[in-house]
Structures are given as C-alpha cells and as structure tokens.
C-alpha cells in the first residue's frame, strides 16, 4: 500500500481528554468466553494482521488519516489504561502500580521479538477478559494506536451499533475519530484496560524486543479485531 497516494485528512491534536460516545462503567466489564473455536495463533501473527489489516480494501482509494503521536504519560493515557514508571525501591503497593485483572485464566509473562513494524495501521484489536502490559526491553521508543474500551454489558439490550464478537461478548465498534497514537519512550510500560482497542507495538527500528503480560490463551480465544480498511475505508499514518 502506497500511503503517499492517498488523499490526506488531518485530525487536530487532542486535548488532555476527549469525549467520544459515553460508555457506562457497566459496559466495561468482560464476560466469560462461550465455546471458543481454538485455532493456532501467536501474538506476533495476530499483531501483524492488526497492523496491516488482512482484508480486501474498498473499491475506492482509502483515506489516509494522519495522527499526531501523543507522549504517553499517566495523565494523557488515563482513558485507555496506565503508564507505569519507575518507583523507589521499598514503596508499597499503590495507585501508581499496575492495576491488573488476570483472574480469568493462567497468566503468561514473556518476551517477544518483533520485526518490521512500520508506523501505520488499518485494524485494531481488543481483549475482553484480561488487562495487558507491554513494554520495550531497554526503554527504546515505540508507538501504540488505541481507542477507548467499548464492551457492552451482557445484560444490556438495544445498544446502538452493538456487534457480537466470535468469542461471545458484545461491543460497540471503535469510531475513526476516536483513534489516537501514543509514543512511549524510556523505562516505562503501558497497562491496557480490559477492552482497550490497540494496534502495535510499532517502531522505527528493524527489530525490537518487548515484554508482554496477558493470559496463556489470550490470542487464541480472546482477540477481537475491527478492520478500518474494510469497514471504514481508512488507514492511519503518523510521523515521528
């Protein structure tokens, strides 16, 4: 895909907080997975598909939406999760620690090697049953596309535009104008709330190593994707 050929649209730099369609706290809960069909998968394969959008494009040329990266801080990332920074040794557990929900399965903490992750994406994914932590080994610069969680409470009906995941839960698809890109640099990591839409990690280097905390089967039975190229005829690009 030659993005330079696409008509360019620009989104204004976000304020400290934005106001998409409100999602009630009840909608942010996750739900038990129902009879998932297990298939071979890996984080690397899933994220590569998310970054490039494995689907046929619309017959018309997609719009290349240019985003301005936002420096990830505890304040700027609050709508999507947490930015966890270094604390003095001996500090007790508190609100600056990662507030995890890994109770719905076997936690998996591992290091993954990623290659060739250009700073563009056309699809985005969420996990309904677990928080996720991502950080680069060595504190190198990387980027993550995100949109706010939009899970729908299983007992709630009549939610406008609600869709059903193959894994049993319902959600409202993310809006094009609700997507942001964050820049992460230095010794910190991101904790994504359950249901936070995300695309990446992306980076300028040829290869990078990341540590990842999720569940042992997250990318097998809890990986819901929204394809902006197919559904909205849009791709997202950004510059350093």
Into how many domains does the chain fold? 1
- Mind giving me the DSSP string for 51-108? HHT-SPPPSSPPEEEEE--EE--TTTTTTTEEEEE---TTPPS-TTS-----TTS-EE
Which residues form the domain of 86?
3-11+24-238
**Please, are residues 149 and 81 in contact by the beta-carbon 8 Å criterion?**
no
Between 14 and 40, residue with greater pLDDT: 14
Task: Kindly report which listed range (77-91, 157-171, 219-233) carries the lowest average pLDDT score.
Answer: 157-171
- Give yes or no for residue 6 having a pLDDT over 90: no
The average pLDDT across 159-180 equals: 94
Q: What is the pLDDT of residue 5?
A: 45
Residue 42 lies in a domain: yes
Between the CA of residue 196 and those of 2, 20, 55, 79, 130, what are the distances in Å?
29, 14, 22, 9, 10
Q: What would the pLDDT profile of 48-62 be if each residue is shown by its tens digit?
A: 555 554 444 445 788
Between 5 and 134, residue with greater pLDDT: 134
pTM for this predicted structure:
0.76
Q: What value does the CA radius of gyration of the chain take, rounded to a whole number of Å?
A: 17
Separation between Cα atoms, residue 55 and residue 234, nearest integer Å: 12
The two tokens of residue 142 are 């990387």
Residue 16 lies in a domain: no
**Please, are residues 31 and 154 in contact by the beta-carbon 8 Å criterion?**
yes
Residue 216 lies in a domain: yes
The average pLDDT across 120-126 equals: 98
Residue 19 lies in a domain: no
Write the CATH number for 196: 2.60.120.480
């Amino acid at each position: 895909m030659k993005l330079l050929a696409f008509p360019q649209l620009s989104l204004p730099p976000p304020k400290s907080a934005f106001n998409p369609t409100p999602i009630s706290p009840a909608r942010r809960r996750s739900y038990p997975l129902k009879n998932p069909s297990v298939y071979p998968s890996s984080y690397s394969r899933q994220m590569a598909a998310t970054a490039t959008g494995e689907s046929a494009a619309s017959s018309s040329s997609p719009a290349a939406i240019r985003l301005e990266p936002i420096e990830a801080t505890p304040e700027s990332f609050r709508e999507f999760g947490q930015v966890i920074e270094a604390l003095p040794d001996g500090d007790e557990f508190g609100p600056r620690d990662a507030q995890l929900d890994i109770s719905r399965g076997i936690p998996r903490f591992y290091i993954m090697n990623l290659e060739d992750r250009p700073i563009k994406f056309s699809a985005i994914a969420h996990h309904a049953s677990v928080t996720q932590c991502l950080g680069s080994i060595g504190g190198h610069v990387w980027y993550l596309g995100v949109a706010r969680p939009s899970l729908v409470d299983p007992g709630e009906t009549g939610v406008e535009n609600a869709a059903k995941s193959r894994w049993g839960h319902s959600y409202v698809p993310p809006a094009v104008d609700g997507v942001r890109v964050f820049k992460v640099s230095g010794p910190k990591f991101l904790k994504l709330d359950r249901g936070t839409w995300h695309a990446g990690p992306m980076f300028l280097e040829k290869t990078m190593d990341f540590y990842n905390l999720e569940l042992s089967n997250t990318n097998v039975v809890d990986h819901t994707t929204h394809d902006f190229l197919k559904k909205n005829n849009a791709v997202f690009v950004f510059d350093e």
